Structure 1
Amino acid sequence: MNKLFYSVLLLIAAISPLMAQKNKWLFPEKPGMVSYTYRKSLAKDAAATLDTIKNHGITDMEFSNLFGKTAQEMRQLLDARGIKCSSYGVGYDDLKNKMAEVAQNAKTLGASFVRVAWIPHQGDFTLAMAQKTVEDFNHFGQILKDTYGLTFCYHNHGYEFQPYENGTLFDYIVQHTDPKYVSFEMDILWTFFPGQDPAALLNKYGNRFKLMHLKDLKKGVKGDMSGGTSPENDVALGTGQINIPAILVAARKAGVEHYYIEDESSNIATQVPQTIAYLKSLKK
């Protein structure tokens, strides 16, 4: 009996670490939210919308619009609900012409990152455009970091993956910008849509990626390098085409700091809770 008892104990001791590893949550942290997901309701009633977001358990946000309020007014609404703003998104021209205002708004909101999500261009994205982008990004990033203590991030949008040499123009931008001043926010839909592998790109460039937009693409939709698709092609995570678990594994390895849910569709009342539940369900 003693031998059998000890054999069982040894078996349990051997299996327990494996079981613990198997049941380890793949995404243990809470996701954040991009304000654009709730753009319509935030424009009508910011306070009530922030209550809805908080009721989903969200306490980390990325704003790309102040919805008619000052940064201080929005900060007061956030503070009252225990919500933090970690990233502030602005337009390219704002960085070129209103840098001080952008930086002040970001700091007032409490953000550590300033993000731009679109490079103005006409037609296909070209090498000349990428070269000008590199020059601008290094300039924006240096001012934001050295003068204001903020980190500049670029959010990819799909058109930057035009082929170039042995890679793409996105590779060119990453490789020619200064890591001290320029970081990136991966939008996983706008990486997958032009035919790229988000997990492979995360593995390739590691901690150049600081932020991430979590979204999924409706099954059957074919991508391209236009940088555009119907908002209704955004679906709840885990119901579309994108391999979310593989991306999350690569993102954790890369050291992504903030994960924001973005859903541009008209179905956020049902899809946002689905997405949150899906993230909570994932195990290694």
Structure 2
Amino acid sequence: MKKTFFSLCLATTLVLGGANSFAQKGKPLYTFPLGVESYTYRASFPKSVIATLDTIKALGITEMEGGAPKGMTGEEFKKLCDERGIKIPATGSGYEQIVKDPEEAVKNAKELGATFVMVAWIPHQKGNFTLDNAKKAVEDFNRVGKALKEKGITFCYHNHGYEFQPYENGTLYDYIVKNTNPEYVSFEMDILWAQHGGADPVGLLKKYGSRYKLMHLKDLKKGIKGDLTGGTPAENDVTLGDGQVNIPEILRLAKKAGVKHYFIEDESNHEYEQMPKSIAYLKSLKE
């Protein structure tokens, strides 16, 4: 891990220093704090929490979405992050857990200093997300969102692609957005999973802009045709800017919509190679 960390520092310097090679004219489009989803380093955290956080800090990342690694309390993890100038504005919860005990989700969030809690999966039969699944989610989200708001926490639902099952003149995702109370339920857009599910992230931002508070930045390999399973092989998650997602337009609209936090999530198995390149790409974008 030590060798990997120092190699990464060198690679980061070289790649970020070379970002100007594809820089454009105009004001920077990337003006938000640089964030990462902790799942990006799922293979590294179990080996060494300290070395992984040092790696994240070396990349210039100042925000993270995630929770305490196994065997560590929220307070302990927050302290390590604080020492490295990394804030945790958002954390996640499983659907069943938060529905059963919203208070526990609030407690976990407050230990980390998070003000957002997101749920990224609605239980359903794979490849068969139904209206009944959506109706139950709407009911649960409105109740849980209210409970969290009363404690100063914002609840967000993170799309995974399967929700774009056609329904009436739109999709079941449209049904969920339209039937959840904006006071209690916000959304985190995962731009890869929206694209993979057959939706247009740009169109969604134009339609529901202010409902989005968080965003996962990731890119889908060119030529890959998505489906409604909510899954794709790791090799289809590519460096930002190398895939088929219209990231510049998404960022312009997200900024306009008031999205609060942006987290790069690299689900590939090449995160040490791809993360510095993705950051360089973001820094190259101009209005």
What residue is the counterpart of 1:202 in the other structure? Answer: 205
> Does the 8 Å contact 2:118/2:157 carry over to 1?
yes
What residue is the counterpart of 1:97 in the other structure? Answer: 100
Q: Pairwise mapping of residues 203-282 of structure 1 onto structure 2 (< 5 A)? A: 203-282=206-285
CA offsets 1:59-88 (integer angstroms, 9 cap, x no match): 101005533211111111111111100001
Q: Pairwise mapping of residues 1-284 of structure 1 onto structure 2 (< 5 A)? A: 23-64=26-67, 66-123=69-126, 124-146=128-150, 148-284=151-287
Q: Which secondary structure state, in structure 2, belongs to the residue aligned with residue 44 of structure 1? A: coil
TM-aligned CA deviation for residue 129 of structure 1: 1.0
Q: Name the larger-Rg structure.
A: 1
Unaligned runs of 5+ in 2: 1-23
TM-score using structure 1 length: 0.90
Q: Which amino acid aligns with 2:164?
A: F
> Does the 8 Å contact 1:43/1:68 carry over to 2?
no
Separation (CA, whole Å) in 2 of partners of 1:168 and 1:55: 41
Separation (CA, whole Å) in 2 of partners of 1:39 and 1:98: 26
> Does the 8 Å contact 1:26/1:249 carry over to 2?
yes
Separation (CA, whole Å) in 1 of partners of 2:277 and 2:176: 35
Q: Which has the higher contact order (CA 8 A, sep 6+)?
A: 2
TM-aligned CA deviation for residue 265 of structure 1: 0.8
Structure number with higher helix proportion: 1
TM-score using structure 2 length: 0.89
Q: Which amino acid aligns with 2:218?
A: K
Separation (CA, whole Å) in 2 of partners of 1:264 and 1:234: 6
Q: Which secondary structure state, in structure 2, belongs to the residue aligned with residue 184 of structure 1? A: strand
Separation (CA, whole Å) in 2 of partners of 1:223 and 1:64: 29
Q: Which secondary structure state, in structure 2, belongs to the residue aligned with residue 264 of structure 1? A: coil
Using the TM superposition, name which of 210-219 and 61-70 deviates more. Answer: 61-70
Separation (CA, whole Å) in 2 of partners of 1:105 and 1:92: 15
Q: Which amino acid aligns with 1:178?
A: N
Q: Which amino acid aligns with 1:116?
A: V
> Does the 8 Å contact 2:67/2:112 carry over to 1?
no
CA offsets 1:221-248 (integer angstroms, 9 cap, x no match): 1100110001121110000111111111
CA offsets 1:28-83 (integer angstroms, 9 cap, x no match): 22320000000111122111100100110001010055332111111111111111
Structure 1 vs Structure 2 CA RMSD:
1.3
Q: Which amino acid aligns with 1:136?
A: D
Separation (CA, whole Å) in 1 of partners of 2:68 and 2:81: 14
Separation (CA, whole Å) in 2 of partners of 1:179 and 1:264: 30
Q: Which secondary structure state, in structure 1, belongs to the residue aligned with residue 45 of structure 2? A: helix
Q: Would you say how many aligned residue pairs link Structure 1 and Structure 2?
A: 263
